A and B are shown apart, each in its own frame.
Chain A
Amino acid sequence: MGSKDETCFAISIIIIIIGLIFIAIVRVIYVVYRTSKPLRPKSPKPLSTLIVLGSGGHTAEMINVLSALQKDRFMPRFYVAAATDNMSLQKARVLEDLLADTNGGKVVSAKFMQIYRSREVGQSYITSIGTTLIAIAHALWLMIKIRPKVILCNGPGTCIPLCVIAFLFKVVGIRWSSVFYVESIARVKRLSLSGLLLYKLCIADQFYVQWPQLQRKYPRAIYVGCLICRYFSFG
């Protein structure tokens, strides 16, 4: 008798687990389907925006994109750069100062934050496991705090934990973040590793490339041409 109860109990647990897995799979499929569908808000409001900056050329390109966006639609703005990247946040601050000037002196809120990198160039793979876990935990912390409605990124590995967490937030229902990924102008025939991951996993809502060869190779990508119109030189 006892064993029959135990068997019933075990079977119910298994059914519940299978049920939960089924619900999760359906939810994930729905999220993947919904990702890449344009939003249709009744009355568009300003959207909190997370901007992921990376070294050198990456930040310069991102700044070109930001310069073309209407500042009052994308606020508050949160800039994130890797902890070991000294130049990017500086550049972002300069951009925000520029925006304040053209805004008639009105200060629009912007926050600048640093995030731990999963792995430094040349770091051993063993220690990388530990630092990646720390990076994921830190990314989770930042995402819970910010819960952005829009994420803009263009290549550095720092964006991967943030975008994956954004996807999980979509699945779980914490926040629907629209992820826009712009592949670097330096990528002509092959995608970067970050780009490839976000493309294949369908995590980016819109995936932009700057060379037509990439659009032919990756049909879900959108070709936008070269977007560097201003070069911000910081030596």
Chain B
Amino acid sequence: MGEIEDSENRRMVFVTVGTTLFDALVRAVDTKEFKQELFRKGYTHLLIQMGRGFYTPTKSEAEDGSVAVDYFTFSSSIADHLRSASLVISHAGSGSIFETLRLGKPLIVVVNEDLMDNHQSELAEELAERKHLYCARPRTLHRTIADMDLASLLPYPAGDATPVAKLINRFLGFPDD
């Protein structure tokens, strides 16, 4: 039991829904099925940021054959949790996605099927096609965990705002630097 708490063996999965309400995802990661898949893949801890959701997961200490589970609603330092995670499972918000990719963390994006205008799924699907992350639905999340090969994910190159800035300057008649 004490060995699991050792930070060298600690492999934490961080689930985040940002400021949204995404009970379907929180429920999906709180199932026995899902937690078993995590354990089989060698993860030790599951930390859930549940945002505005109503469904509260069950906390548990690490036991034989299962992961430790903890949760909270909001945090002022999501970045810290992202940094200490071995795997991130996130809602499809672009901020969440890019912040995680920038930190170079393996990412599974779960699209909220209950949202009315789901343009968010466009971004997640495009990045999944380009192999920067995995895309999943709440109901099939445990299968994504079982089938994923994180080594095959490609890092996302940093963007560059200088092309836009150049165009704006040129349009306004400012000289090029």
Contact = CB atoms under 8 A, between A and B. Distances in A.
A231 to B, nearest CB: 5
Given A68-B165, A229-B161, A39 B126 contact: no
A67 B165 CA distance: 9
Interface stretch (A76-84, A156-164, A177-185): A177-185
B162 A68 contact: yes
Given A39-B171, A178-B172, A206-B171, A231 B98 contact: yes
Contacts of B123: 185-188
A150 B75 CA distance: 37
A231 B161 CA distance: 12
Given A38-B170, A57-B94, A188 B122 contact: yes
A64 B161 contact: yes
Interface stretch (B4-12, B37-45, B62-70, B76-84): B76-84
B167 A224 contact: yes
B56 interface: no
A142 interface: no
A interface bracket (residues with beta carbon within 8 Å of B): 35 or more
A41 B170 CA distance: 11
Contact of A222 (B76, B78, B167): B167
Interface string B66-101: 000000001111110000000000000111001100
A225 B126 contact: no
A235 B173 contact: no
B137 to A, nearest CB: 19
Interface of B: 19, 74-79, 93-95, 98-99, 102, 119-120, 122-123, 125-126, 157-165, 167-175, 177
